Structure formats: C-alpha cells, structure tokens
Structure 1
C-alpha cells in the first residue's frame, strides 16, 4: 500500500478512536479540566497523533496503547467518583487566594500564582477594584471563583421584594437553520399550525426563519435570514 494512502487510513482510524474515547470519558475532560484531565488529554492526543502519521509504529500496537490509556483513565474516574480521598489526590483542592478581602500571599506563592494573573482573572469576572472582593478561590480546574463583599453584590428582585413569575422550563428551540424541530413541538404539546400562525402574525413562513425559540416566559423569538441591516458591522 502506498504510504500516503496508509497515512489517510491511519488518520481516519486515529480520529475515530479519539472521538470514541472522549465520548466514553465524558464532557468533564473538556469543560472542567483538572491537572489529571490535562495529562490524560495530552497522552491521548500524542498516541492519536502517532497513530495517524508515524508509519514505523504498527497500527495494532498504537490501538492497544490507546485502549489501555482510555481504560486506565476511565477506571481512575470511577475511583474518583466513589472515593473522596482519591478524588482529592488526583484533582487537588481549591485554594483560597483572598480571604476577608486580604490577599493570601503564602497560598499564592505555593501555587506560583502572581498578582498580575489574579488581577486578570478578577477583570474577567467584571471585578476591576480588588477592594470589592471578600473571597477569591482558585478551583481545581484553574478558574477563579469570586464572592464580592455584600455592598458590591448585584441587587436581586428578592432584595427589592418584587414579585417574580416562576419559570418551570428551559427555552425551546422550534426552528433551526430553517428546519422545524418537530420533536420539540411534540414534546411540549405545540402544534405545527400554532407555529405557522405565530409566523403569519409576523408576515413570515418557516422558510424565512433561520432560528426561532420560545423563551421560558412564553415569548417567541424569531430571527430571519434577511436582517434588513444596511451596514452590518461584521461584514468583511
């Protein structure tokens, strides 16, 4: 077999294995990456890359290594799920870097966490004045959780004793890319005729609509292909 054909086949196998492996390991590997998840992801990526282009390594040897890594990671994830000590050993503990408005330099030094990085992560959470912070905690996945002092927290309806209408459901997508999502209509006891009626009120058909979603409060948001914007700011 010509070498370039072999690389194509190996790349398809590599991508398929990586996709199956990440599906098995769950979304946490992507969305909440701890140090263990980081090491696991790099290892799987390196094995997959070698499977794709390193023709000097036999395919079945690489697949065995990949399967073993996935099995080990999956086993460790189960142990972490059932054993708190194991979870703490693998993921570590959150670290408090600000307590009662004071910066804990000792904790930051142990983590090699600088004031510049602290300020950057505070700004990412819309905190531009460090005096507003009561507690700041670096989570095991590296994100910063911030609790502001009471006088700097956002006012809620409950604080103002304003009545709140309860919301019992998530927004429901009804049309996406011009296609009606029939399953969502059926599951929420909504009829096609009702949707057509709502669109007619706006002088539209579903072919004109790129996206339609019913909010939790019952309002229907509709976005059409023709936005009637003469000078869109994202036009290149």
Structure 2
C-alpha cells in the first residue's frame, strides 16, 4: 500500500531537487533571453510557453531525463524563440508570418463585415469589446482594432489618425 503514495524517500528527494534545480535553470534562461520571452503572447509565444511547461514537468517527474538533458531542451527552445523574435524585429516578412497584422473591424462607427469574417470575430464579440471599453454607441467610435495578441483596441473620436495612416492593419478594403 505504501507505493500508492510514493515509491521511496529517495524518489521524493529526486523530484524535490529536480524541481528546484530545473526551476532555477528555467528562470536563468528566461532572464538571459530577455523580456520579450515573457511579454504579451502571440500564438507562437503561447506554444513555446506550453512547451516550456511540458519540458519542466518532464525534467521534474521523469527518471529517464537528466537535469542536463532537460536544461539543454529548455535552452534550445528558448534559443529558438530568441532567434525567431530577433529575426521578426529585423525582417518584416518574418514579423508578418509570426505575429500577423492587426485587423481593422470598425471604422468611424461603421462595422466592416468582411473584416469581421476574415478575423473570425462575431458582431457580439465586437459589441462586448466596445462595452468592456466603457463605450455604448458605435457611432462615437473612430475604430476598433483586433490586435495581433488577440486583444481589442477601442479608439474613440480624436484618438486615431485618418484610415490612410493606420499602418500595418488588415481590413476589408
């Protein structure tokens, strides 16, 4: 019955030591890689974060994975993320591939149905974002933008320049 709760004190000690060392290793690597690794996430960042969690759990719980192997896996994944973000800052087509473009969903009080469809956003979601921003009348809005991180920006009159100067936005034009 003892094995239901734990195999041995040695196995528990291994998990405890592995957890502490793996966590310290992850924190050190994340600090070295810079703030971008922990910033607001796009889809690629979310995948990397989930993968880091999976690697961390494997290091801690699997007897078959050494701390050195797990540390190398963490370093490789964080290194690839660093290279991807470094490249996306410097190469526009990589940035577009990785983060996409913001989508203009409403302009000067008018909903852009084709942009909603393309962004897979319902009118109800648009209205919810407007209410969350403390607004109640679409006609008072200059623009609603679906940002690359999935958040909505609700811009009231006077906060946004003319449509021609809204760079990098995908719309139904």
TM-score range, shorter chain: 0.7 to 0.9
Which runs of 5 or more residues in structure 2 are unaligned?
1-8, 160-173
> Is residue 2:124 matched to residue 1:120?
no
1:58 deviates by 3.0
Two-structure CA RMSD over aligned residues (Å): 1.9
Asked which structure has the greater RCO (Cα within 8 Å, sep 6+), the reply is: 2
Structure 1 CA distance for aligned equivalents of residues 31 and 142 of structure 2: 39
Q: Matches of 2:150 and 2:34 in 1, distance apart? A: 19
Match of 1:47 among 55, 59, 75: 55
Aligned to 1:105: 113
TM-score (norm 1): 0.58
Which one has a larger percent strand, Structure 1 or Structure 2? Answer: 1
> Of the candidates 37, 62, 65, which is equivalent to residue 70 of structure 2?
62
| Residue in structure 1 matched with residue 6 of structure 2 by the alignment | none
1:95/1:18 CA distance change after superposition, 3 Å = same
Change (3 A) 1:17 1:113: farther
Query: 1:68-147 maps to which residues of 2 (within 5 A)?
Result: 68-147=76-155
- Do the aligned residues in 2 keep the contact of 1:34 with 1:141 (CA within 8 Å)? yes
Checking the alignment, whether the CA contact within 8 Å between 2:33 and 2:79 is kept in structure 1 is no
- After TM superposition, what 4+ stretches of structure 1 lie above 4 angstroms from structure 2? none
Deviation readout 1:156-181 (Å, 9 max, x if unpaired): xxxxxxxxxxxxxxxxxxxxxxxxxx
> 1 CA distance for matches of 2:40 and 2:89?
15
State the alpha-carbon separation in 2 of the partners of residues 9 and 62 from structure 1: 14
> What's the CA shift for 1:113?
1.5
**Residue from 2, 21, 25 that aligns with 2:10:** 2
Q: Which of 1 and 2 has greater Rg?
A: 1
> Deviations 1:4-50 (Å, cap 9, x if unpaired)?
00000111122112212322333334342111211111111211121
The structural deviation recorded for 1:138 is: 0.9
The count of aligned residue pairs is 151
Q: 1:74-133 CA distances to partner (integer Å, 9 max, x unpaired)?
A: 111111121111111111111111122211222222222122222222222211222221
Q: Larger % of helix: which?
A: 2
